[in-house]
Amino acid sequence: MHIYLNDLIFNGFHGVYPAEKKIGNTFKVDVRIDFTPTTKTIDQLDQTIDYVQVFQLIQQIMAMPTPLLETLVATIADQILANHPIAENVFVKITKQQLAIPYFEGTTAVSIERARV
């Protein structure tokens, strides 16, 4: 089974350049969590992964200024696995919505996929 949190929007001060630390940017976060249910029918919250808790975790991590998106995606994936024992695999993608690069149109993103070992 998969749980998705898509198009989560955060404002933050992530980046290595002075303007990124001062002005900030908008970031889009997408997460997929894979798990195997222990019952055929899930009818209780404790039989699944509470996406509200996952959102709150992501919100806390995205609030901490971090130079590299690579660090952020790894931290989010690792914390989801640490806080949700039934999570088997986590995919996290963070997209930087604007870049302060002349003539650059588009976005950049960093993603990671981590599995429980």
Residues catalogued as catalytic: 96
Pairing assessment for the beta strands 108-115 and 25-35 based on DSSP bridges: unpaired
- In this structure, the dihedral spanned by the alpha carbons of residues 6, 8, 14 and 20, taken in order and rounded to 10 degrees, is 110
The three-state secondary structure class of 90 is: strand
Q: State the DSSP H helix or E strand holding residue 51, giving kind and residue range, or none if neither.
A: helix 51-62
Q: State the DSSP H helix or E strand holding residue 88, giving kind and residue range, or none if neither.
A: strand 87-96
